[in-house]
Amino acid sequence: MTRPVFRHVPFTIEQDRTAEPEYEARCVSGDGTECGAASGTHGGPGPVEEGRRGHTQESGHRRCRRAVGDHAVPRPAAGLSGPGRPADGEAS
């Protein structure tokens, strides 16, 4: 009887510096139902904050949910090969 053998391949998670972070906000003010006014996605916090200021002035709403997202890339730990990364000396 053979037993399956699983190999643990260590990965590190790195930020993908080729992709811009994404900033956005959504208004969560409201009585019973959230307003839901969304800022849209921007490459920096400035446009999101400016949009929130304008929305607060117009509506009086003061609570929002902010989110910042980035892109992550798992890579095999140094010295190891794995999916998406040929071993040293191996043609790609």
Least Å distance, CB 30 to Zn ion, is 7
Q: Among candidates 23, 75, 77, which has minimal Cα distance to 51? A: 23
Cβ atoms of 3 and 13 closer than 8 Å: no
Nearer to Zn ion, 36 or 43 (CB): 36
User: Given the complex with Zn ion, which of 40 and 74 has the nearer CB atom?
Assistant: 40
By C-beta, is 12 or 41 nearer to Zn ion?
Answer: 41
Q: Give, in degrees to the nearest 5, the angle at Cα 66 between 52 and 45.
A: 65
Kindly list the residues in this chain that would bind Zn ion in the complex (CB under 5 A).
Answer: 27, 29, 35, 37, 59, 61
